[in-house]
Amino acid sequence: MDIQIVLSVLAEMRRLRPRDHWTRQQLEAHQADALRDLRGYAYAHSPFYQQLHQGLYNAPLHELPVLTKAMLMEHFDELVTDRAIRLEEVKIHMSNLTGDERFLGRYWVNATSGSSGHPGVFLFNRAEWITVLASFARAREWGGVRVDLTYRIKTATVASTAAFHMSTRVNATAHSWWMPEIRLAASEPKDSIVKRLSAWQPEVLIAYASMMRILADEQLAGRLQITPRAVFTSSEVLTEETRRRIVQAWGERLFNQYAATECGSLAAECEHHRGMHLMEDLVIFEVVDRDNRPVSPGVYGDKLLITVLGSRTQPLIRYELSDSVRLSPDPCPSGHPFALVDAIQGRVEDVLFFQGTAGGVVSVHPLLFSRIMDMLPVSGWQVVQEADGLRVLLSGVRGEFEDDMLAATLRQALAEQGANVPRVEVQRVASIPKTAAGKAPLITSNVSRSLPVSDVPSSGRSVKEAGA
């Protein structure tokens, strides 16, 4: 553990804090300056961007081509700005990773778990890594947990423990007397997690939304007895019902955050709970439709384009994330200059496709399922699309309800969308199966998407996974 890193993160926090009180004009002026610096650097040092933006060096941001993860991985060695970086060697480094080691002695390497699609690999130099760490610390501060050297916060994180995963890497750097933390693998049995959390008594609890819902149920049932000052969820869609239960268990101290392996924390909730503030001083966000046209506040975009202002090793300019987010049309009383995201309805990959009763293909958004499933007295649920219909998994069922009734409700809701559903099968299971990263997606599909191209959102094959 490098104390210099901790001190640098604290210095970065001091630099970031005043920005909460910027005006929108100050923020936009900062973005314009930082974008100019980023593009200048990319054009000077990245052969890939020299080519991709040829003739567009002075064009406005929204006229530049979009960068997908597939493009980034295909042209990795030309995109990075240090010619000593070779993807093949980075991969070897990753496979040997056990702690806080750096590639070439100077780059922290993170990767998405690649449970669907190819993993994305992201390198951070020291300054970039400090910004990543500061972005997570800032999310805590917006949740009322002050980060400084005079107060040690007992933290518990239930997440993936894969060495290349961002939350593990952040922890490997930050773990110290400064931030005493236990990390539990989300794949551990529930009873063991409950026991260890009760023994540790964390002041701050961090977990994926699906895991937090299970823990909230354990708390409500009296099996888990902890009193955290703040609980943070991330990486998965936080449904209304999951939020309600967590608040019931621990009070109004739930703060959702939105993070990505590409750059750290992207957005976080403040004490007013009006949604998540985008960290627009670190990243320029564009909420767009499938043709990369901007959508208005109050409307869900098909994807999110991010321009990471501090990225130098691996510049990210109009990089595509397949998250469908909605900007709030209303301001937050906090007076932050940062725009609010009031809802994330998941990734384009969470949209399921069905044959239409009137021919063609019908796309069904995750919200249709969560509105119904969320009302059930269960700890966890998952909708799995199979070739012959839907399999609905329920875990931790309390109280009475008819599985047949649930199946009929889902069939009817789908029929109202014009979808032809051959079969809905409800199964009660001990626990919802988790991905390699320990997540339990609400919606998943085992059907290959052999649909006409025009029916599949343009980013449908590009998979992004929030990393922390």
Binds Zn ion (CB under 5 A): choice among 52, 226, 306, 332 = 332
List binders of Zn ion among 409-438 (CB under 5 A).
Answer: none
Q: Of 328 and 431, which has the nearer Cβ to Zn ion?
A: 328
**Choices 8-16, 111-119, 333-341, 366-374; region in contact with Zn ion by CB under 5 A:** 333-341
82 or 342: whose CB is closer to Zn ion? 342
Indicate if the alpha-carbon torsion angle 221, 223, 227, 228 is positive or negative: negative
Q: Is residue 328 close enough to count as binding Zn ion by CB under 5 A? A: no
Closest separation in Å from C-beta 255 to Zn ion: 11
204, 99, 230, 228: which is closest to 152 by C-alpha? 204
**How far apart are CB 207 and Zn ion at their closest, in Å?**
22
Question: H or E element: which one contains 44?
Answer: helix 24-45
For residue 211, the minimal CB distance to Zn ion (Å) is: 25
CA–CA separation, 391 and 372 (whole Å) = 15
Stretch near Zn ion under the rule CB under 5 A, chosen from 175-183, 227-235, 236-244, 269-277: 269-277
Q: Does 270 bind Zn ion (CB under 5 A)?
A: yes
**Window contacting Zn ion (CB under 5 A); options: 43-51, 58-66, 327-335, 421-429:** 327-335
Contact assessment for residue 134 and residue 9, using Cβ atoms and an 8 Å cutoff? yes
Cβ-based nearer residue to Zn ion, 206 or 278:
278
Q: Are 135 and 263 in contact (CB under 8 A)?
A: yes
Closest CB 35 distance from Zn ion, rounded Å: 25
461 part of the interface to Zn ion, by CB under 5 A: no
Candidate ranges 130-138, 185-193, 224-232, 326-334; the one touching Zn ion (CB under 5 A): 326-334
Selected from 198, 334, 409, 431, the binder of Zn ion by CB under 5 A is 334
Q: What are phi and psi of 333, to 5 degrees?
A: -60, -15
Contact stretch for Zn ion (CB under 5 A) within 34-42, 297-305, 334-342, 360-368: 334-342
CB of 270 to Zn ion, least distance (A): 3
| DSSP labels, 95-147 | HT--SS--BTTTBEEEE---SSSPPPEEEE-HHHHHHHHHHHHHHHHHTT---
**Closest separation between CB of residue 254 and Zn ion, Å?**
14
How many C-beta atoms surround the C-beta of residue 297 within 10 A? Answer: 14
Instruction: Supply the minimum distance, in Å, between the C-beta of residue 339 and Zn ion.
Output: 10
Smaller CB distance to Zn ion: residue 143 or 396?
Answer: 143
Distances (CA, A) of 66 to 71, 306, 320, 429, 458: 10, 10, 7, 42, 12
Instruction: Please report, for residues 258, 275, 294, 303, 373, the alpha-carbon distance to residue 325 in angstroms, rounded to integers and kept in the order given.
Output: 11, 11, 12, 7, 21
Check binding of 272 to Zn ion (CB under 5 A).
yes
Q: What is the DSSP letter of 294?
A: B
The angle formed by the CA atoms of residues 74, 80 and 84, to the nearest 5 degrees, is 110
How many chain residues touch Zn ion (CB under 5 A)?
4
211 or 332: CB nearest Zn ion:
332
Kindly calculate the radius of gyration of the chain based on its CA atoms and give it in whole angstroms.
22
| Residue 230 contacts Zn ion per CB under 5 A | no
Which of 190, 200, 196 lies closest to 221 in space, CA to CA? 190
**Given the rule CB under 5 A, which residues bind Zn ion?**
270, 272, 332, 334
